[in-house]
Amino acid sequence: MPQPDVSVVIGACEAMPNLVECLASAGAQTIDPERFEVIAVDDGSTDGTGECLEEFAARAPMRVTVIRQANSGGPSGPRNVGLAKASGRYVFFLDADDRLGPQALQRMVAMGDENGTDAVLGKVEGVNRTAPKSMWGKTLGRTDVFSSNVKFTLSAQKLFRRALLDRHGMRFDESLFTDEDALFIMEAYLRANGVSVLADHPCYHLVGRDDGKHVIKSGSRTVRFDSARPDEAARRHGPGRRAARPPHDPAVPHHPAAAVRAEVPQGRRRGPPAQAGTGRAADGGLLDTRCGPPAQGPRAAAAAPDPRQRADPLLDVVEFVKAKKQAGAIPEKRGTRVCLVHPRFRSKAAGVPDDIHLAEPREARAVHGHREAAASSFLRRALRKVRRMLTPNDFRAAA
């Protein structure tokens, strides 16, 4: 049997009834059925999801593999299982709630082949929910994370050359059950030999469930990122669920891509500056960033003409986060500010400003030697200046 061009990996857990339309969209693809396969993983569903997948496999024109397993506690496990079974030149991750546009696979595979790129982003449209918009300004045959807005879409629904993922042993972090795809996608962007953006045709329909079970749609960012904490995982799913990381340390970032994306050159922002290695994403400072013209700061890594030179320092941060290392903390300015020491901290070659590494007040309070800064020293300085200007006679006259 010839190698398929693309393997579509679907992880499904309690996905009915949306799964029906999801599978129908896969069956309606204009690409030749012999050119793609579907690998569907039922992650311990009890609502008929597994039976729906098997019924689809029995009648589908393309090759369909159905895997049924005990519930893993998050999307990463099913995706990794499907990825391990994939045989296509490309892999596409399709969520069971969502739908593909009819020409999606045909157009994205053609785009990757034509430009020799390792990642292809097809235009996403929202159905009963908001979809990312800033990266769909125009179709780009070849770009990268530094020259475009692709860094503002870190969800898994993209086409990747499988050789890229296999070469670097890339898999989704199974210790997280929400926002687990952000670190995987950012690493893929940085390691890819180019990224293509297909902006002139809707390829993916991001569907909001009527029952509101989308964590991303229904929960605040703080809830989403805190859900990675082991105590919250146990509360929501019981002690048998996988813990996200060792007991929570305030100096450990909630969001795994925060330390990486915060160091990618950016222009205009909405809200406070993103800070690497902090929980800044949870209060809107990171995920609400908007990219304007490329930043023209002193960052040598960002200014390097070769994208590989710019990516290497960020890949160091990726490896640091994947290894679940904890950043060291350095109290400065008499303990009133704390810097978190991530890879290439104060490296002249990387040129990353210290502001990127500042800890949030919540994180700084957990560091030995930290002390709260005065609420405002402006009035104190003004009063001292006035006192210096006044003579003793002025005080006596006032009395």
Instruction: With beta carbons less than 8 A apart as the criterion, state whether 52 and 21 touch.
Output: no
Residue 215 φ/ψ, nearest 5 degrees: -65, -40
Which residue type, as a one-letter code, is found at position 139? T
Token pair 């061009």: residue: 5
CA atoms of 50 and 43, how far apart (whole Å): 9
Q: Tokens representing 202?
A: 């809707």
Residue among 181, 231, 283, 394 flagged as catalytic: 181
Catalytic, 181? Answer: yes
Query: What pairs with residue 196 in β-bridges?
Result: 120
Q: Mention every residue, 6+ apart, whose C-beta is less than 8 A from residue 120.
A: 90, 108, 109, 111, 112, 158, 159, 160, 195, 196, 197, 198
Q: Tokens representing 373?
A: 């800064």
CA atoms of 15 and 103, how far apart (whole Å): 24
State the DSSP string of 164-230: HHHHTT----TT-SSSTHHHHHHHHHHHSS-EEEEEEEEEEEEEPPTT---HHHHS-HHHHHHTTSH
CA atoms of 377 and 381, how far apart (whole Å): 6
List the catalytic residues: 181
